[in-house]
Structure 1
Amino acid sequence: MKKVVAGLWRIIRGPMQWRVLWLWHSKFMVGVTGIVRDQDGRVLLLKHRLWPEGRQWGLPTGYANAGESFEDTIVREVREESGLKVRVNELAHLKSGYKLRVEVAYEVEFIGGEFRTDSFEILEATWFSPDQLPEGVQESHRALILRER
């Protein structure tokens, strides 16, 4: 049986192999977060309208689109949610193990722009010193902000 399967695998080749693999394996959403810091070391926090009451402050975050690099995802999300322009630096966090989600976070550098928030998703965008974060910051985001750099 193994020889038959191996023979069929070699016959279908290329795009058909990728389609079979795609159908066979689990599908995941990839959540990408940016730890956006300005030249003074302050961090960008957004008050998210759709997050649970009392835990609405957090970093810019969103899901990667098909075919989009994770770096491009966070650049897009920051622009959509805050209007700011950023440059992605090093990978800060990678975690799997959820049923359908993988989490990725990057250190991100503010390079320009003025606040222009998406009023549907974002109630407020503000710079905070890491040692003076507001009440209601997501604990996982607080940990990302305060991690050893």
Structure 2
Amino acid sequence: MGNIEKRGKVWLAVSGLVQSVDGRWLVVKKKYGGLKGQWSLPAGFVEKGETADEAVIREVKEETGITCAVKGLIGLRTGVIEKEISDNMIMFVLVPTNGEKVSHQEEELYEAKFIAPEKLLLEKDTSTLLRYLIHQHEASVKQGIEGLNPGEQFGYTSYKLFL
């Protein structure tokens, strides 16, 4: 596992549910990992110096070429791998801001495209999490709140709440 050396034993990832104007979802098929060959959401790790919402915008752009804005927070997926690694992923809803022309990242992905959620349910290679999100999507989306500062003593250079 190359990620252990790079990320330690606490991982923080993000994923983005990008919705087109007509309601289709932006999905990718990865060439590696546990989701290899399955439709899933664009995702990746938060890097130093960025907030989780900045990371999801970067990851979606890198993987699919789609520039987005965050609409809100869906939730958190958290688990422990092999009783040792804390694996956490924050899930956001995004909207495309530069159109819907997809260009996938060749080295990491087999494919990336917008697909209607009801069609994804018919695909045999749709991930478990994606199937669950399709059924649950009408649940509340938490909006981002900016402009708050918990105090200068913390030294935040960026601070946002999703409530």
State the TM bucket, normalised to the shorter chain: 0.7 to 0.9
2:75 paired with 1:93: yes
1:4 corresponding residue in structure 2: none
What is the root-mean-square deviation of aligned Cα atoms in Å? Answer: 2.0
C-alpha distance in 2, partners of 1:57/1:75? 19
Query: In structure 1, which of residues 34, 52, 63 is the aligned counterpart of residue 16 of structure 2?
Result: 34
Query: In structure 2, which of residues 87, 101, 117 is the aligned counterpart of residue 130 of structure 1?
Result: 117
Residue 52 of structure 1, CA deviation: 4.6
- Would the alpha carbon gap of residues 29 and 128 (structure 1) be closer, same or farther in structure 2, given more than 3 Å must change? same
Q: Choose between structure 1 and 2: higher helix proportion.
A: 1
Comparing 82-91 with 46-55, which one deviates more in the overlay? 46-55
TM-score by length of 1: 0.74
The runs of 5 or more residues in structure 2 that have no matched partner are 1-7, 139-163
Specify the code of the residue in structure 2 equivalent to 1:45: V
C-alpha distance in 2, partners of 1:59/1:90? 15
What secondary structure sits across from 2:50 in the alignment? coil
Query: In structure 1, which of residues 111, 121, 125 is the aligned counterpart of residue 97 of structure 2?
Result: 111
> Would the aligned equivalents of 2:41 and 2:130 in 1 still touch at CA under 8 Å?
yes
Specify the code of the residue in structure 2 equivalent to 1:140: L
Kindly provide the CA deviation profile for residues 95-137 of structure 1, in whole angstroms up to 9, marking residues without a partner as x: 4353322121011112224222110001111111111103211
The residue correspondences of 1:1-149 to structure 2 (distance < 5 A) are 28-52=10-34, 55-98=37-80, 99-113=85-99, 114-133=101-120, 134-149=123-138
- Would the alpha carbon gap of residues 54 and 66 (structure 1) be closer, same or farther in structure 2, given more than 3 Å must change? closer
Residue 55 of structure 1, CA deviation: 4.7
**Identity, % of aligned positions:** 28
Runs of 4+ in 1 over 4 A off after TM superposition: 52-55
> Would the aligned equivalents of 1:31 and 1:62 in 2 still touch at CA under 8 Å?
yes
- Would the alpha carbon gap of residues 78 and 148 (structure 1) be closer, same or farther in structure 2, given more than 3 Å must change? closer
> Would the aligned equivalents of 1:45 and 1:59 in 2 still touch at CA under 8 Å?
yes
Q: Which has the larger radius of gyration?
A: 1
TM-score by length of 2: 0.68
C-alpha distance in 2, partners of 1:137/1:126? 13
Residue 85 of structure 1, CA deviation: 0.8
C-alpha distance in 2, partners of 1:87/1:145? 21
The runs of 5 or more residues in structure 1 that have no matched partner are 1-25
